[in-house]
Amino acid sequence: MRYSTVAAALLPFVAAQTIVVDDNTVVEANNDTVAPAVAQVAATTTDAPVEYFPDETLQLTDDILANLTDLQLSNISLFSFDNGTLSKRGLFDGCKTYPGDLLWPSNLTWKVFNLLTGGALIKTTPYASPCYDDYGNYDAAKCAYLTNNWSNNSYLQTEDPTAINSILFQGATCVPQEYALGAIGSGATKKCELGGSPAYSVAATNVAQIQLAVNLARNLNLRLVIKNTGHDFGGKSTGAGALNIWTHKLKNVKFVQNYRDTTYNGPALKLGSGIQAYEVYAAARQYGVTVVGGEGRSVGVTGGYIAGGGHSPLSSVYGMAADQALAYEVVTADGRFVTASRTVNTDLFWALSGGGGSTFGVVTSVTVKAYPKLPVTIMSWTLMTGSTISADQFWGAVRAYFASFPTIRAAGTYEYWNMVPLGNNGFIFNMQPFFFPNMTTAQAQALVAPMFAQWKALGVDIEPTYQSFDNYYDAWNAGFPLESWGTGNIRQGSRLFPKKNWADAALFNQTFEAYKSVVEDGGFIVGVGIQAPLSHGNIANSVNPAWREAYFHAILATIFDADADAATVQAVGDKLTFDWVQRWRDVTPGSGAYLSESDYIEPNFTQSFWGSNYARLYQIKQQYDPLGVFYAQNAVGSENWKMSEFIYGNLPSQNSKLCRA
Ligand SMILES: Cc1cc2nc3c(=O)[nH]c(=O)nc-3n(C[C@H](O)[C@H](O)[C@H](O)COP(=O)(O)OP(=O)(O)OC[C@H]3O[C@@H](n4cnc5c(N)ncnc54)[C@H](O)[C@@H]3O)c2cc1C
Ligand SMILES: *[C@@H]1O[C@H](CO)[C@@H](O)[C@H](O)[C@H]1NC(C)=O
Ligand SMILES: *[C@@H]1O[C@H](CO)[C@@H](O)[C@H](O)[C@H]1NC(C)=O
Ligand SMILES: *[C@@H]1O[C@H](CO)[C@@H](O)[C@H](O)[C@H]1NC(C)=O
Ligand SMILES: *[C@@H]1O[C@H](CO)[C@@H](O)[C@H](O)[C@H]1NC(C)=O
Ligand SMILES: *[C@@H]1O[C@H](CO)[C@@H](O)[C@H](O)[C@H]1NC(C)=O
Ligand SMILES: *[C@@H]1O[C@H](CO)[C@@H](O)[C@H](O)[C@H]1NC(C)=O
Ligand SMILES: *[C@@H]1O[C@H](CO)[C@@H](O)[C@H](O)[C@H]1NC(C)=O
Ligand SMILES: *[C@@H]1O[C@H](CO)[C@@H](O)[C@H](O)[C@H]1NC(C)=O
Ligand SMILES: *[C@@H]1O[C@H](CO)[C@@H](O)[C@H](O)[C@H]1NC(C)=O
Ligand SMILES: *[C@@H]1O[C@H](CO)[C@@H](O)[C@H](O)[C@H]1NC(C)=O
């Protein structure tokens, strides 16, 4: 075996729970003998434009590592940085290391690792295990709480180190019974199992812990996962046998009155990567500014959201979330902590701003632009077929709304809607909300008056409700409902529809028909009306070029019977991927999809998610992470890897080994 020297060095540590310290004294590994491996460094550096947060001043340094010699761990280099030799060794060309493999950490290694992180290591106990007997922690009250909140409280899964929303891709191996799937996971086994969940998590509260985790994972070829909120649509924050870095506790916020670099001079907010939308908006309100974030309350703003591009109720005015980035602090695959800003490590900065999460490093904070306080009007409606509105009238109204895009986009609106088929040619269209940044009620009403006049001519006469606010937070808070998602019997896809489809009447008709036909066929839509060109002095980044051309982003979902057999589920999913969304691809050639709200098996994903930016992203990935320390389904460079098993025929199973393709 090519890694035999590494493995041989590990063998002394496999059996015993003791370590050798200070000239061969054998002692038990505990917090008297192994201190946390952490140094306090200065908060101010030449690279970082804003001083480090307190949790960023606690780092792993070469001096600290040198002291691990006392533990005689140095000769196995378990926690050492990649100094360039490892990547040249040509090791690890098969699968990642899994339990049972020679390189899988021994109990002692986990124990020492825990001590070095100051007790931050958590061995995974599935969140819903209190609903089962398997972990010896059955608890009816806790199970009731989890069951009641599982699918209608999007804060729930964020509070656990490994729980995620897209449970289907984890394998649904330990979910409250009423969310179990008949064909796979706990539905099939009636048991609570780890499935695709990581084996261990580091609940990070400082940079040193993240560096130790990255180094350990890289040196032993472990699968490494990063979980922030677990909201990712594509299971990118889960993976069997992995070491997981949980960034949720990195909650610092700092207001910077005068940020200045060669591209920007103005207010900014530095945000820890655990910060969620409701927190960033509250902080911005407190400082009298406005910050671009998502509509979802619980989404992590500076984790997967900003990394993936990030659409916002303010995007039509200020651009994508990633466009707002000024600087990142990040632990890279070699274990080092670096700044990537508009002026330092600019290639990494470009890649982090749109290239997707879990690819280039573990981000601990992002500094973003802040804008002046801004008035906002919101409006909502519910349009439903019934005794007074026929299906023809309904679609006529939807068509008039679509036809208004050139006008309303130019005015900077964002619309967030859902459209649901009710059966028997019945439909419902909830606009919740229509968001008018920087507009009064009168301005908003004037903007949409032509559309409502068309509705009236069609016999669709509704009274939308308007509310106006003098600041963004209050409008966002009043306008967007708390979303939820914990079910596994769902598959999703999406597409970005370009504005050029509005420039030609025949193409507009085809586009509208393609949209309408999948709703008539039973597809559920979450639509986002938006435009996001580069504006306000924002600089080019790796955000999908298709976003720059888009007039709307449509998420499409299909829901299947949770007890359906595997073949039925595959048929339903294939219809979504290869028929419904294909109708959309056919009318939008060369466009793409939004990676953060996309199909788990998006065809041709590199083109779809990054278009012409992909070649450079791939090159930067190879430069910063030649060993593939960071991996996630559909991430840049993930085409070099494959999951070794599938569920429902063609869905890569996160509960299987990750191997080089
Ligand atoms: C209820 C809900 C509402 C949403 N609303 C919006 C919205 O308004 N606008 C929008 O654009 N999208 C929205 N999304 C999609 C959202 O952008 C993605 O789910 C995104 O991946 C969430 O990022 P996260 O960090 O919160 O989640 P996670 O699932 O924890 O992480 C997502 C990905 O980023 C990686 N990652 C997380 N933290 C870091 C880090 N610190 N460093 C490096 N990689 C990291 C993870 O490994 C994973 O690959 C919403 C999703 C949900 C479920
Ligand atoms: C050391 O570990 C013991 C037992 O786990 C714990 O009670 C104690 O608080 C720890 N001490 C420190 C300094 O962390
Ligand atoms: C390393 O250990 C020595 C001896 O215990 C100690 O004096 C020194 O401060 C340690 N260095 C660091 C960076 O902790
Ligand atoms: C490696 O560790 C062993 C103890 O497990 C020790 O005896 C040996 O001297 C170490 N080798 C080096 C090169 O440090
Ligand atoms: C790199 O690390 C290895 C393993 O720890 C060590 O043997 C080697 O001397 C280091 N090389 C350099 C240039 O630091
Ligand atoms: C390691 O710990 C697990 C429990 O976490 C235990 O089942 C196993 O026997 C231990 N292995 C060894 C070699 O002690
Ligand atoms: C969570 O569950 C409790 C009962 O177990 C319930 O009272 C509460 O409303 C739920 N919260 C949400 C947001 O659903
Ligand atoms: C969530 O669902 C539970 C029942 O499953 C219900 O008791 C609770 O009120 C709901 N909460 C919200 C916010 O809808
Ligand atoms: C908001 O509108 C005012 C005029 O009403 C205009 O001066 C200002 O530039 C607008 N702000 C943005 C961000 O578009
Ligand atoms: C587009 O569709 C509308 C409504 O169905 C129709 O009136 C119009 O003629 C069509 N235009 C083109 C160019 O096909
Ligand atoms: C992927 O997209 C590129 C660029 O549009 C195209 O040339 C290629 O044929 C596509 N490949 C597949 C398999 O669809």
Q: For 174-219, write each residue's pLDDT tens digit.
A: 999 999 999 999 999 999 999 999 999 999 999 999 999 999 999 8
Which atom of ligand 9 is nearest the CA belonging to 371?
13
In a domain, 193, yes or no: no
DSSP 576: I
Q: How far is the CA of 632 from the centre of ligand 6 (A)?
A: 29
Q: What is the pLDDT of residues 611-645, one digit of tens each?
A: 999 999 999 999 999 999 999 999 999 999 999 99
Instruction: Tally the C-alpha atoms within 13 A of residue 368's C-alpha that lie toward its C-beta.
Output: 32
Query: Do 289 and 434 have their domain in common?
Result: no
Assign residue 346 the CATH number of its domain: 3.30.465.10
Query: Do 397 and 419 have their domain in common?
Result: yes
Q: How far is the CA of 10 from the centre of ligand 1 (A)?
A: 37
Percent of the chain's residues with pLDDT above 70: 95
Domain end position, chosen among 339, 372, 405: 372
pLDDT of 9 over the 60 cut: no
Q: Supply the pLDDT for residue 297.
A: 94
Query: Do 357 and 394 have their domain in common?
Result: no
Q: How far is CA 604 from the centre of its chain?
A: 20
Q: What total number of domains does the chain contain?
A: 3
Query: Do 434 and 579 have their domain in common?
Result: yes
Q: Supply the pLDDT for residue 15.
A: 40
- Residues touching ligand 10 (Cβ under 6 Å) are 505-506, 509
Q: What is the pLDDT of residues 216-272, one digit of tens each?
A: 999 889 999 999 999 999 999 999 999 999 999 999 999 999 999 999 999 999 999
Q: Supply the pLDDT for residue 14.
A: 42
Main-chain dihedrals φ then ψ at residue 554, nearest 5 degrees: -115, 125
Q: What is the mean pLDDT of the chain?
A: 94
Q: Supply the pLDDT for residue 76.
A: 54
Q: Supply the pLDDT for residue 72.
A: 64
Order of strands across the sheet that contains 121-123: 121-123, 200-203, 242-246, 223-227
pLDDT-derived band at 108, boundaries 50, 70, 90: confident
What average pLDDT does the segment 11-22 reach?
Answer: 54
Nearest ligand atom owner, CA of 483: 1
In a domain, 120, yes or no: no
Nearest ligand atom owner, CA of 435: 1
CA angle 437, 438, 443 (to 5 degrees): 100
Domain end position, chosen among 343, 372, 401: 372
pLDDT of 8 over the 70 cut: no
DSSP letters for 45-110: -SS-SSPPPGGGSEE--HHHHHHGGGGT-GGGTTT----SSGGGTT---SBPB-TTSTTSPPHHHH
pLDDT of 65 over the 50 cut: yes
pLDDT-derived band at 3, boundaries 50, 70, 90: very low
Query: Do 570 and 421 have their domain in common?
Result: yes
Q: What is the pLDDT of residues 289-313, one digit of tens each?
A: 999 999 999 999 999 999 999 999 9
pLDDT of 518 over the 70 cut: yes
pLDDT of 403 over the 70 cut: yes
DSSP 260: E
Distance, CA of 155 to CA of 484 (rounded, Å) = 8
| Ligand 11 within 6 A of CB of 286 | no
In a domain, 75, yes or no: yes
pLDDT of 1 over the 60 cut: no
CA angle 77, 205, 485 (to 5 degrees): 110
Predicted model pTM: 0.95
pLDDT of 4 over the 50 cut: no
Nearest ligand atom owner, CA of 156: 7
What average pLDDT does the segment 126-141 reach?
Answer: 98
Joined together, the tokens standing for residue 125 give 């106990």
Q: How far is the CA of 292 from the centre of ligand 6 (A)?
A: 48
Q: Which domain holds residue 262?
A: 253-372
**Probe residue for ligand 1, chosen from 152, 224, 281, 299 as the CB with the greatest number of ligand atoms within 8 Å:** 299
Assign residue 450 the CATH number of its domain: 3.40.462.20
CA distances (Å), origin 312, targets 228, 430, 531:
19, 19, 10
Query: Do 442 and 583 have their domain in common?
Result: yes
Query: Do 403 and 471 have their domain in common?
Result: yes
Q: What is the pLDDT of residues 571-615, one digit of tens each?
A: 999 999 999 999 999 999 999 999 999 999 999 999 999 999 999
Distance, CA of 43 to CA of 53 (rounded, Å) = 7
- Residues touching ligand 3 (Cβ under 6 Å) are 39, 63-64, 67
What average pLDDT does the segment 433-454 reach?
Answer: 98
pLDDT of 13 over the 50 cut: no
Distance, CA of 512 to CA of 142 (rounded, Å) = 47
Q: Supply the pLDDT for residue 67.
A: 82
Query: Do 346 and 406 have their domain in common?
Result: no
- Residues touching ligand 9 (Cβ under 6 Å) are 317, 438
Domain end position, chosen among 574, 594, 613: 613
Query: Do 354 and 395 have their domain in common?
Result: no
Which atom of ligand 10 is nearest the CA belonging to 504?
13
**Probe residue for ligand 7, chosen from 127, 147, 148 as the CB with the greatest number of ligand atoms within 8 Å:** 148
Nearest ligand atom owner, CA of 411: 9
Q: Supply the pLDDT for residue 33.
A: 84
DSSP letters for 462-505: ---EEEEESSHHHHHHHHSPPP----SSEEEEEEEEEGGGGSSH
By mean pLDDT, which of 13-17, 401-405, 643-647 is the weakest? 13-17
Which atom of ligand 5 is nearest the CA belonging to 84?
1
| Ligand 8 within 6 A of CB of 481 | no
Q: Is the dihedral of CA 632, 633, 635, 639 positive or negative?
A: positive
In a domain, 419, yes or no: yes
Query: Do 467 and 384 have their domain in common?
Result: yes
Query: Do 437 and 495 have their domain in common?
Result: yes
In a domain, 558, yes or no: yes
Which atom of ligand 11 is nearest the CA belonging to 590?
5
Query: Do 411 and 556 have their domain in common?
Result: yes
In a domain, 284, yes or no: yes
**Probe residue for ligand 8, chosen from 150, 152, 155, 482 as the CB with the greatest number of ligand atoms within 8 Å:** 152
Nearest ligand atom owner, CA of 100: 6
